Amino acid sequence: MAAPTVSKDLDGWFASNDKRIHDELFEFLRIPSVSASSAHDKDTLAAAAWLHQKLAAIGFTVETCPTAGHPVVVAEWRKAPAGAPTVLVYGHYDVQPPEPLDLWTTPAFEPTIRDGKLFARGSVDDKGQLWVHVKALEAHLAVRGTLPCNIIVVAEGEEEIGSEHLAQFIAQHAARLACDAVVISDSSMFAPGIPSILSSLRGLAYFEINVQGPSGDLHSGMYGGAVVNPAMALAHILSTFHDKKGRIAIKGFYDKVLPFPRAVLAGMKKLPHNDTRFKREVGVKALGGEEGKTTLEKLWTRPTLEVNGMLSGYTGEGAKTVLPAKSMAKVSCRLVPDQDPKVIEKLLKAHVKKVTPAGVTVTVEALHGGHPWRADLAGKIFDAATVALHAAFGKKPVIQGEGGSIPVVVDFQKILKVPVLLVGFGLPGENAHAPDEWISVDNFRRGLRAIATLWDEYTK
Ligand code: BES
Ligand code: ZN
């Protein structure tokens, strides 16, 4: 069979509208919709309003639905021929905080293209990828005056802070959101030129650990040696989380971990991963983690416990002799099927209680969580995506796992009872959540064509 191609009418429309598509994306990226920061609440609302207006302008019926947090933008187009399927497209218009600002080559909210990379906070995660979907829909409507399937776009503003209100929103609006498949572009390809379809995501359980010692900071000479130091107590607690083989030493932590299907593991071995390149990409000389596992196994199929940040005592210039009164760490566990964030919370709390030294009080607070997910990968939407990616990238997609989390994926699958297709256009090294986040302009352009082709293939 000849290799599939992108249909000429859509490809031509993308080519002649390329500048406008980019200009509009720049507008979207200039809105600092940082969901974690209440100082940016106005901007987060502005991003929702901007998106609302753009979706309305291409012919969708749009509603911005308030939640207890940031609103959900729901846009519907339901004029497909009778019997046509309905697809729900999900994305998020919120972004991660841009800090540390001084490490950006150009400012986070002033999009700039250098060497084929579009730099800006949200360029890849997820405004750029959401924009791929909006413009692919516009292409169909502009060129053909119609879409081959009904489409519901759901864009939320709380993904980067745990999608706290979205599961409830989906459950409350389940009838309206009823569909045949969910499609999400909020992930990355395996490598440049190698498109991929995701077969799994890890879940998440995120905690804050606070250690309280003396009632105030103390002179480290007058009191040090006799009073338990909260910074050292925290270091001790953290040091008990792993054993010498890199496994997590919390009792019961692995009890619910299921083996990965053999076909998935076999497929993983065939992917062109290279540890030397991987080390170079992240800038380290050696890798860590569980003994006896390959890097891809560690990233996609195994749970973790990581320290995300720590705070204690004097961290200013020069030396100050002080025994700090308290210390704090942000700790998160990535989870794999069938681990449950609530159970992990209980196990972690019991462990911390057991290893806390006398002389300090420790509290563990669960901040947010999400369940791990595994795809079925059977059905028309996956076949259609395979052809569409092949057409746009000139190469069949690989099936890959993913170490990150999109908690709402499980909610969609459970509540709407439909398959979820995850097909993303980011790349390794794209700096998501970090300074100098970027999306490849070439991937963005191919992504537009892939998604536009997806709707044709899905309804063939
Ligand atoms: N887009 C990411 C998830 C992701 C990252 C998927 C890399 C595939 C590859 C998403 O926006 C994200 O960062 N999620 C958070 C979830 C959390 C805040 C609940 C994550 O994984 O840390
Ligand atoms: Zn993210």
Q: Are 152 and 86 in contact (CB under 8 A)?
A: yes
pLDDT score for 163:
92
Ligand 1 pocket member 98 (CB < 6 A): no
Residue 95 to residue 44: CA distance in whole angstroms: 9
Catalytic residue among 43, 126, 159, 345: 159
* 281: its two tokens: 């990409």
Average pLDDT over residues 203-212: 97
Average pLDDT, the chain: 97
Residue type, 391: A
**Bridging pattern class, strands 196-198 and 398-400:** parallel
Residue 399 to residue 389: CA distance in whole angstroms: 12
Choose which residue among 70, 92, 159 to substitute to test ligand 1 binding: the one with the highest number of ligand atoms within 8 A of its C-beta. Answer: 159
Ligand 1 pocket member 162 (CB < 6 A): yes
Q: 339: CA distance to ligand 2 center in Å?
A: 21
Q: What percent of the chain has pLDDT over 90?
A: 97
Say if residue 345's pLDDT is above 80. Answer: yes
**Bridging pattern class, strands 373-374 and 200-201:** antiparallel
Say if residue 1's pLDDT is above 80. Answer: no
pLDDT score for 368:
87
pLDDT score for 264:
87
Place of tokens 């499980």: 410
Catalytic residue among 11, 94, 138, 457: 94
Place of tokens 């293209």: 113
pLDDT tens-digit profile of 17-58?
999 999 999 999 999 999 999 999 999 999 999 999 999 999
Q: 408: CA distance to ligand 2 center in Å?
A: 13
Catalytic residue flag (residue 159) = yes
Residue type, 57: A
Average pLDDT over residues 447-457: 98
Q: 432: CA distance to ligand 2 center in Å?
A: 6
Q: 161: CA distance to ligand 2 center in Å?
A: 9
Say if residue 377's pLDDT is above 80. Answer: yes
C-alpha distances in Å from residue 100, one per residue of 172, 252, 314, 434: 38, 37, 20, 8
Q: Domains along the chain? A: 8-201+372-458 (3.40.630.10), 203-257+303-370 (3.30.70.360)
134 pLDDT tier (thresholds 50, 70, 90): very high
Measure CA 425 to chain center: 12
| Closest C-alpha to ligand 1, atom 13 | 160
Residue 382 to residue 149: CA distance in whole angstroms: 16
Average pLDDT over residues 390-411: 96
Say if residue 2's pLDDT is above 90. Answer: no
Q: 108: CA distance to ligand 2 center in Å?
A: 15
Ligand 1 pocket member 406 (CB < 6 A): yes
Catalytic residue flag (residue 94) = yes
E runs forming strands in 12-135: 61-65, 72-77, 86-92, 112-114, 117-119
pLDDT score for 376:
87
Residue 271 to residue 273: CA distance in whole angstroms: 6
Ligand 1 atom with the shortest distance to the CA of 92: 11
| Closest C-alpha to ligand 1, atom 5 | 404
pLDDT tens-digit profile of 266-315?
999 999 999 999 999 899 999 999 999 999 999 999 999 999 999 999 99
Which ranges of 283-379 does DSSP label H, i.e. alpha helix?
A: 295-301, 341-355
Say if residue 263's pLDDT is above 90. Answer: no
Where residue 328 falls (left for φ over 0; alpha for ψ -120 to 50; beta otherwise) is beta
Residue 136 to residue 448: CA distance in whole angstroms: 5
Ligand 1 atom with the shortest distance to the CA of 204: 19
Coil, helix or strand at residue 387:
helix
E runs forming strands in 336-431: 361-370, 373-374, 398-400, 420-422
How does DSSP classify residue 101?
G
Residue 104 to residue 410: CA distance in whole angstroms: 34
Residue 458 to residue 460: CA distance in whole angstroms: 6
pLDDT score for 237:
98
Q: Would the pTM count as exceeding 0.85? A: yes
Average pLDDT over residues 68-87: 98
Residue type, 191: A
Q: At what angle do helices 41-57 and 18-30 cross, to 10 degrees?
A: 160
Residue 231 to residue 236: CA distance in whole angstroms: 9
Residue 370 to residue 347: CA distance in whole angstroms: 16
